A and B are shown apart, each in its own frame.
Chain A
Amino acid sequence: MSDEQKNDSQQNFQKKQQGKAEYTPEDLQHLSDMDHVRKRPAMYIGDITGRGLHHLVYEVVDNSIDEAMAGFAKNVNVIVNQDGSVTVEDDGRGIPVEKHDQLSEEAGREVSTLEGVMTVLKFGGKFQEGAYQTSGGLHGVGVTVVNFLSQWCEVEVYREGQVYQQEYERGIPTGPVKRIGATKKVGTKTTFKPDGTIFQTTKFIFDTLYKRLQELAFLNSGVRIKFYDERVSEGDEFYYERGIIEFVEHLNRASDALHSDVIHFEGNVEGVGYEVAMQYSGEYTENVHSYVNNIHTLEGGTHVSGFRSGLTRTLNTYGKKEGLFKDLTPSGDDFREGLTCVISMRVPHPQFEGQTKTKLGNNEVERIVSSAVGEAITKYLEENPKTAKTILRKGILAAEAREAARKAKDVLRKRKNVLGGGGLPGKLRDCLSKEMEKCELYLVEGDSAGGSAEGGRLKQYQAILPLRGKIINAYKSRDDKVLANEEVQAIIRAIDSGIGEDQDVNKRRYGKIVIMTDADVDGSHIRTLLFCFFYRQMYELVANGHVYIAQPPLFRVRSKKDTYYVQSEEEMKGRLLQRGLEDAAFDPGDGRTIAGDEMVQLCQTLAIMEEALIALERRGINLRVHSERINVNDGKLPVFHVFIGNKEYWFSNRSELEELVKREEKDSGSEVEVTDTPAESAASRNGDASQEVHVTELHEVRTINAGLGDLSQFGFDIESLMPQERTGIEEPRYILRRGDSEIPLEDLRGLVAAVRSAGEKGLQVTRFKGLGEMNAEELRDTTLDPAHRTLVQVTMNDAGAADDMFRVLMGDKVEPRR
């Protein structure tokens, strides 16, 4: 601004000041009530938009509700007429129509009380303590303001069998209050048409009125509000005996409630009335509606903050007392997730603040509500421990989610911020190529195996990320294995397809993710953890078949000629047996020699039987003892172990069992229950279990019986499987011959092992105890090189099974065992 301009504006300012200097009584005017309301409508009804317009209806309805809450009216009818005017009628006492002394004296003429109510501001029952305990209406200005802001208005009063009526135009009565007839009705009916010269719009909105009238019916239980809009021929009737309880049910109608009952409490402290209804649903948002004297306090205020602090404090105290919190304590926000709540206050002298004057400012209310909520909720939690747990768990999950979101954000940010290396984890030995489809990420168990894998990989396309299971001391006597936080982060950052909601499987850095673990218990733990992690957090990766399991060999076999690798124990056993059988001959000590094909068949038979025999021994059943129970009719060992009461039976076939059941039924004259619960536990549990037949089936004995059948072809019976006491005889019972060597055997069960052992001669067999025992070259030849390796795709079933396992394990956490 130039100096010249500055001078100009200063002069103008001075001129204006000069004009104001003459200040005379004529400059001042006293506006009548009506003129003031019509000149400054916003001071009385907030504004002159649609909001203020609808407020006119509420002012009139509030009067009727006051009458109803005072016990004088039951019904309120609201009608939007064809011409856009609104009629509100109640069946209350009706506004008095008699002459009002004070007003008549002031006016110098006879003024009816009704006329006073309609034309004199701050006139009415609301201002006398006791007339209404607390009344609605934003500013307590009531129907007078409605009259002043209407093009026309008409009031009918039904009182003492008469109908009285008065009409107004822009607030001015067109005549005195007249008696126009007789009636049996009581109440007041007000019809008004808002003044279009004052309001920006005079069109009432059906939905807005509908919602507010329903809300009023919820807030004032027992009041029946009928609403009808003649313009659209639509309407409804609102009547809620249970008040805000039904309000909460209404708000939660589309959500799944976490507990069936609505928590409800009310009371009055220091003249401040409170009523609260609340219920938790499965939603994640907070849905708290608060009202003071029927006014929707959109900006909240002291009653809402009192409610919040009381709720948070109480739930925290309860959770701590019950030991429900572990690492983190939920915040107030967490406890209000999914909360639907209606708070309805009755405050005698409310102070409203805020932008829209819908924020309660009375300080005392905060303290009153907070302690009332604390008391009521504490009582509820104590009386409803199951719901209490549900509510607390909801808050804990909310806290967990908040914490998890923060951590996930951290991980992703770390990925982006780390200088150089593109934010990849430090342990990752990345491949050179960027062709995602061709690249593979090997997740390798153990650092030493990671080292071998790094040395043996095809650097162009294979990346190595070494992982370790972390051991956590869980209880005194138990250790747990987990996937360490750093490992989880490393996997997420290496694959780099995001995590949580911000995830895109197509952005992953590798075509295949290959899990490579040891073939031991540790390895299977890590595999299970990884399966579950991928299934839950990188579901698409598994669903689209991008996750694989490497198949490292279990054995290295060196002979004079070459070195080869064997994948599994079964395969190794088979190979050794085959090799051992070459020029092996068996001398059963009866002059025969079993060799060639016959020897192969004998060994196969014995190999199959051996597993069954071990299974039988694991049950604590000795073969010699069992052999004494042999069925003399069919020559078979018993398969069924049966208890009836304290009587024990052994049967080699089902028909014998069935015969026993029939016999028992005949003897006892009633049906006999057959169960497969172990007889021992049944007997100890129930002394009188004589009516039950407990059957244990020894499946492996079927295999043994079949094997015994095969053995008889070779001339052996069951005795051949058991060591014999042969004192004084120096000759071995059986002899395995192979070339020049002779191997003595006490029984047939040792034969297969002896043949395998013979097959191992001249070989150097190494069982890898872990991947780390393989050198880089070995690992490449067997497990990494696509030309020789075997990869097994992880199916949804595999991964789902790991997920199931953790569900079972975590189930302990949800319902702790007593």
Chain B
Amino acid sequence: MAILRCPICQQNFDSETTRAMPFCSPRCKQIDLGRWFNEEYRLPIVPDPEDDEPSESLFPDNGDANQN
């Protein structure tokens, strides 16, 4: 038995007794599905400064790899 927190309604529930893991209820699972359809689950794109200057190096992490 584990007490989990429903990602939708934020209420605690028992993983053993719920009919809709990982949610407290089929209802909250349904709401979650609606949010997928509505494209509400978004990941912020963190701008990567290294993307600006495409490096020809095989190992962009250490820029001195190709030094001769």
Contact = CB atoms under 8 A, between A and B. Distances in A.
B45 A327 contact: no
Contacts of A488: 36-37
Interface in A239-269: 256
A533 B22 CA distance: 11
Contact of A539 (B22, B36, B37): B22
A756 B31 CA distance: 53
Interface stretch (A55-63, A124-132, A470-478, A631-639): A470-478
Nearest to B5: A807
B37 A485 contact: yes
Contact of A753 (B22, B23, B42, B65): B65
A765 B68 contact: no
A398 to B, nearest CB: 9
A572 B60 CA distance: 13
Contacts of B40: 482, 810
Given A537-B36, A539-B22, A767-B58, A397 B43 contact: no
A474 B39 CA distance: 12
A480 B7 CA distance: 20
A750 B63 CA distance: 11
Nearest to A766: B58
Contacts of B21: 539, 543
Contact of B42 (A403, A404, A405, A809): A809
B34 A403 contact: yes
Given A404-B30, A405-B30, A501-B26, A481 B37 contact: no
Given A537-B36, A539-B21, A753-B62, A500 B30 contact: yes
A478 B42 CA distance: 11
Given A480-B42, A539-B21, A753 B67 contact: yes
Interface in B15-68: 20-23, 26-46, 48, 58-59, 61-62, 64-68
A271 interface: no
Contacts of A532: 41
A536 B28 CA distance: 10
Given A536-B32, A806-B7, A521 B48 contact: yes
A472 B41 contact: no
From A401, A525, A807, name the one whose CB has the most chain B CB atoms within 10 angstroms. Answer: A401
A90 interface: no
A569 interface: yes
B67 A536 contact: no
Given A401-B30, A401-B31, A537-B29, A809 B38 contact: no
B68 A743 contact: yes
A472 B66 CA distance: 38
A499 B65 contact: no
A407 B40 CA distance: 15
Contact of A470 (B27, B30, B39): B39
From A404, A485, A767, name the one whose CB has the most chain B CB atoms within 10 angstroms. Answer: A404
B22 A536 contact: yes
A806 B41 contact: yes
B43 to A, nearest CB: 5
A747 to B, nearest CB: 11
A500 B26 contact: yes
Nearest to B65: A753
A532 B29 CA distance: 13
A284 interface: yes
Contact of A474 (B23, B42, B61, B64): B42
A404 B41 contact: no
A500 B29 contact: yes
A82 interface: no
B4 to A, nearest CB: 10
A803 interface: yes
B59 to A, nearest CB: 6
B30 to A, nearest CB: 5
A572 B58 contact: yes
A481 B31 CA distance: 20
A15 B66 CA distance: 121
Nearest to A758: B68
Interface residues of B, number: 40
A195 B38 CA distance: 66
A444 B43 CA distance: 19
B43 A481 contact: yes
A289 interface: no
A801 to B, nearest CB: 13
B41 A529 contact: yes
B67 A750 contact: yes
Contacts, number: 141
A483 B34 contact: no
B41 A482 contact: yes
A485 B59 contact: no
A528 interface: yes
Nearest to B56: A767
Nearest to A470: B39
Contacts of A765: 58
A25 B9 CA distance: 76
A483 B36 contact: yes
Contacts of A481: 42-43, 45
A750 B8 contact: no
From B28, B36, B58, name the one whose CB has the most chain A CB atoms within 10 angstroms. Answer: B36
B27 to A, nearest CB: 6
A474 B41 CA distance: 12
A572 B57 CA distance: 13
A614 B62 contact: yes
A223 to B, nearest CB: 38
Nearest to A765: B58
Given A532-B41, A807-B7, A757 B66 contact: yes
Given A480-B44, A480-B45, A610-B62, A536 B23 contact: yes
Nearest to A403: B34
B22 A756 contact: no
Contacts of A528: 43
B7 A810 contact: yes
A397 B31 contact: yes
B22 A803 contact: yes
A754 interface: yes
A408 interface: yes
Given A282-B11, A470-B39, A537-B32, A401 B67 contact: no
A286 interface: no
Nearest to A491: B36
B35 to A, nearest CB: 7
A535 B29 CA distance: 11
B43 A499 contact: no
A472 B29 contact: no
B22 to A, nearest CB: 6
B60 to A, nearest CB: 9
Contacts of B68: 743, 754, 757
B16 to A, nearest CB: 14
Nearest to A479: B45
B34 A404 contact: yes
Nearest to A488: B36
A256 B11 CA distance: 10
Given A485-B39, A537-B29, A807-B7, 17 more contacts: A282-B9, A400-B31, A401-B27, A404-B32, A405-B34, A478-B45, A481-B42, A481-B45, A521-B48, A529-B43, A536-B22, A536-B29, A757-B66, A757-B68, A805-B43, A809-B41, A810-B40
Interface of A: 256, 282, 284, 327, 397, 400-401, 403-405, 407-408, 411, 470-472, 474, 478-485, 488-489, 499-501, 521, 525, 528-529, 532-533, 535-537, 539, 543, 555, 569, 572-573, 610, 614, 743, 750, 753-754, 756-757, 760, 765, 767, 800, 803, 805-807, 809-810, 814
Closest 9 CB pairs of A and B: A404-B34, A480-B42, A482-B39, A479-B45, A753-B65, A400-B31, A407-B37, A481-B43, A404-B30
5 contacts: A407-B34, A499-B33, A501-B20, A501-B29, A753-B62
Interface of B: 7-11, 20-23, 26-46, 48, 58-59, 61-62, 64-68
